[in-house]
Amino acid sequence: QGQLVESGGGLVQAGGSLRLSCIASGITFSDYAMAWFRQAPRKERDFVAAIFWTAANTFYADSVKGRFTISRDNAENTVYLQMNSLKPEDTAVYYCAAVQTGHGVMDLTNLQTYDYWGQGTQVTVSS
């Protein structure tokens, strides 16, 4: 059974940076696409970014393009989300997710696509 554990959240001022990490266990990491979602209070969980095996295949929500970068270290079973130029509207619980690839076309922005989820890490951006 796969397990994902996020870390790196915290409180930061607007314009600042944070780096989130998600360590995967119990899965063959190279077989999985990885993603980050976020959920603000009283809102739905939204797609942020996703990555396949290499950084050549990354996808971002329009709201974070140019500010956030998703990456992965396949040797360490870890996916990262570097968040720069943070805004108060980025405040949310950030979740890591994993989906096994090789089963045809996938909608990476859809919550239902994913096989495993982490417990989330809080990011708060003050103005």
pLDDT digits (tens, 9 = 90+) for 34-63: 999 999 999 999 999 999 987 779 999 999
- The residue type of 22 is C
pLDDT digits (tens, 9 = 90+) for 71-100: 999 999 999 999 999 999 999 999 999 999
CB-based contacts of 88, cutoff 8 Å, min separation 6: 14, 125, 126, 127
3-32 mean pLDDT:
97
* CA neighbor of 50 nearest in space, from 67, 68, 75: 68
Q: With 90 as the cut, is the pLDDT of residue 110 above it?
A: yes
Q: What is the mean pLDDT of the chain?
A: 95
CB 95 within 8 A of CB 6: yes
What's phi and psi for 88, nearest 5 deg? Answer: -55, -35
Per-residue CA distances from 100 to 3, 9, 35, 58, 123 (Å) = 13, 26, 12, 16, 27
